[in-house]
Structure 1
């Protein structure tokens, strides 16, 4: 029996509930960390030894994608396995006054892990909305929020690193930290007293993350750790200033790398490294900071075209490293196309957890890649990309089809934009929010222009091949339309892939 368990473990065929036990799981989700920001991905002016260590001791992906080119949609999709454009939020990101985007009845990654006996925590940037109505009252406990979608504990900024003074504070579970009974968070003097220091935020979050690991060392835990680095404002703590050759931006990346190192150090100290699955990745591509990049020309998304928010590869192809001792081969590299929506499906597969048909509609099982099993064909049929203003692209194999003739970025906020920026409304019958477009679509949706790129030969997306391969354009266009209309892009659960 012992021999059988060992053999199965080597093949990656045991389940988390099996004889080898349940590893703790840590997902470090950087904010705006670009494909070219880490030295293990080619950065020359920034040294990131701790992220490099994760890559050296695990698998580094060269074709991993965030579900969106911006924050909120990627976070929704990562926790649910479902693209966020299927919700009422059809473009842009959530603003401070908007309600919780994740449906409380939906299966999420933390809910699934709780069902397997895990203690779950979210420490870091939330940016998925609070409450069930517009303008939630933060002067008292606010729900639904992180705890209602499966987390046992939450600590972090309610919104983002660039919060207004009203939410430039920390929330623990459902309440603003330090807010006294009877105080009104709308009061400017209260806001100033509770405001966190931007330059100390990463250190404060790291302390909480380390504390969470220490406190729960004797039980399986899931720590979702969405950092505020590298999102603007670029505010590295003094101890990290001047630590890179890429200006304050590079120093902010160094600070993020330090936070990764604190997790690694804690796991080593507690002898938990061998029992922990660690994933380090980013919610979208990098956002160049012209005033803080230094004089040596660091490109956050090198060698890709485009930046955060855009439909180009630089908007959504991101660094991703997975360390899983005994499962993932150290120092390995994968060119498999994967997406963050695959995380929940892969862990469900590892648990042998039966996913319902209304869950993880856009996630694939990537365990075969992680476990080093040879793949003759891509695991994913195709992957949908989405920009800040709602532009779509579809990736299938080496081909990428873009629906529209712009970069998918938002445009200057003129009067027309202000007219379009109305609040989402509830359907009086269903009680759910109606589909909502926050930004102007600056391309023709009725008769869109399609662009086609061969990423194998043209990774910088410089040569449009749509006119040369019209049949391929039609094939990918039909597949994209099917994905959008059918409600899912993956086979139904229990589907057995033909050998």
Structure 2
């Protein structure tokens, strides 16, 4: 077993720079796609058992107030990778299509490049969905800049959603295709909440080199292979395709949940977690591995015919500013350091993973990186610890609605119209009773706070990002729409 990180140094404010020379913990971050708060039995779902995430919860800490920064996927993935909320640029608040270039800048620090500098071997296996290359539209045959250029030593990715074309994998920047296979396409413009995005559509018939029901097993094989070949501390980012549509569980799980393909796909995801846990056990590294399991956003709406609500007990679903759109399961296990069977009700955001992992290494974040990331390391290590976050911000596609949580209050705010709704999330967790009229001062305060947040450029103490007004943020939408309409007419 590797030597554990000297955590007495961390508990003493990580005072020793020499801590970086001691083997740190392995870190595995598993992110489901559209997994709801109530899809796992460890969170109260009673229709079928999810044994592996149950075990994980019993052996670690389960968070009840974890949030995805966005109610949709690409923006949350951007936040995980960069430690910066996806609302610092209007473009980053949108779900990307297969014609979009990489949204991470060439000189932008990522969680992978940061950990690589700290001596980690870094790998990604799974759904990327942050664009590729620098061309507009991007080249789907020669994808260009991607995970290996932003900090990952190894990458095996589903480039976009698994519902998107081409149906192939990309390994270390190269499409996994037979020699001579190319994908002829036309680029078209799509409109999403008033924003123009670019999509490749096939000319003719494209081969399916990635059958949906086989993706989970392929990703498990590649992830386990990565784990088992490492001799140094490693970071593995494993963004699964389950349980995003099309619902296509492996045949081993079909019919097992009793609530249709949705539940069967949840079982496949739970199995994926179990396979990673077994690999860690088999290689005798589980004790010094921080394993996190969460979801990129809230789950689907109610499955009425099966009497199952993936977002229960919250209102709303994926895409919404309600709790059901962004409140997600979040379980962390680190046997050498996290007490078993704990529950934390403190608020955390997935954007906080970056600062937390920086704290684990004992390294200081640069001022221009991880602009909105707060470490929750103390919440992992100590029962009763409180969050350092003064408030937490989430949002929907295109920043149509933003939400801010501070204490017991939650404000849903529309930046372009200035409309707001206020809820007491403690006494009214279902968000049924709008109370802005009876609490005008709190409403004004939270509106002012979220406006200041949007215009400040950063929210992490010590960080400094580019400031811009709310109007400037939305002018970015108009500028890009004009650019695509005018400058790319010859291509689209």
| Alignment match of 2:403 (pick from 375, 379, 393) | 393
The TM-score normalised by the length of structure 1 is 0.84
Deviations 1:130-176 (A, max 9, x none): 11121222223x22111111111111211111113xx1111111111
1:300 is matched with which residue? 310
Say if 2:419 is the partner of 1:449.
Answer: yes
In the aligned structure 2, how far is the partner of 1:476 from the partner of 1:199?
Answer: 45
Contact kept, 8 Å, 1:384 with 1:395, in 2: the verdict is yes
Cα distance, 1:6 vs structure 2: 7.5
2:106 is matched with which residue? 104
Extract unaligned runs of 5+ from structure 1: 405-444, 495-499
1:379 is matched with which residue? 388
Give the number of equivalent residue pairs: 441
The TM-score normalised by the length of structure 2 is 0.85
Cα distance, 1:389 vs structure 2: 4.0
2:483 is matched with which residue? none
Cα distance, 1:7 vs structure 2: 8.1
1:337 is matched with which residue? 347
| Alignment match of 2:413 (pick from 391, 403, 423) | 403
In the aligned structure 1, how far is the partner of 2:89 from the partner of 2:388?
Answer: 25
Say if 2:365 is the partner of 1:355.
Answer: yes
Say if 2:477 is the partner of 1:476.
Answer: no
1:282 is matched with which residue? 295
Say if 2:180 is the partner of 1:178.
Answer: no
The aligned runs of 1:113-192 (5 Å cut-off) are: 113-140=115-142, 142-164=143-165, 167-181=166-180, 183-186=181-184, 192=206
The aligned runs of 1:154-233 (5 Å cut-off) are: 154-164=155-165, 167-181=166-180, 183-186=181-184, 192-216=206-230, 218-233=231-246
Contact kept, 8 Å, 1:184 with 1:190, in 2: the verdict is no
Cα distance, 1:260 vs structure 2: 0.4
Cα distance, 1:490 vs structure 2: 2.1
Cα distance, 1:456 vs structure 2: 0.8
Cα distance change of structure 1 residues 147 and 193 upon mapping to structure 2, 3 Å threshold: same
Cα distance, 1:91 vs structure 2: 3.7
Contact kept, 8 Å, 1:177 with 1:194, in 2: the verdict is no
In the aligned structure 1, how far is the partner of 2:205 from the partner of 2:157?
Answer: 16
Cα distance change of structure 1 residues 265 and 190 upon mapping to structure 2, 3 Å threshold: farther
Deviations 1:39-95 (A, max 9, x none): 000111131110111111100000000110001000000111101121241543011
Cα distance change of structure 1 residues 446 and 230 upon mapping to structure 2, 3 Å threshold: closer
In the aligned structure 1, how far is the partner of 2:83 from the partner of 2:7?
Answer: 31
84-93 or 313-322, which deviates more: 84-93
Extract unaligned runs of 5+ from structure 2: 186-201, 465-492
In the aligned structure 1, how far is the partner of 2:356 from the partner of 2:379?
Answer: 10
In the aligned structure 2, how far is the partner of 1:26 from the partner of 1:174?
Answer: 22
153-162 or 65-74, which deviates more: 153-162
Cα distance, 1:447 vs structure 2: 4.0
Would you tell me which structure has more strand in proportion to its own residues?
2
Q: Tell me, what secondary structure is at the counterpart of 1:337?
A: strand
Cα distance change of structure 1 residues 7 and 247 upon mapping to structure 2, 3 Å threshold: closer
Cα distance, 1:259 vs structure 2: 0.4
In the aligned structure 1, how far is the partner of 2:12 from the partner of 2:208?
Answer: 48
RMSD value, Cα: 2.2
In the aligned structure 1, how far is the partner of 2:109 from the partner of 2:43?
Answer: 34
Cα distance, 1:238 vs structure 2: 1.1
The aligned runs of 1:243-258 (5 Å cut-off) are: 243-258=256-271
The aligned runs of 1:230-245 (5 Å cut-off) are: 230-245=243-258
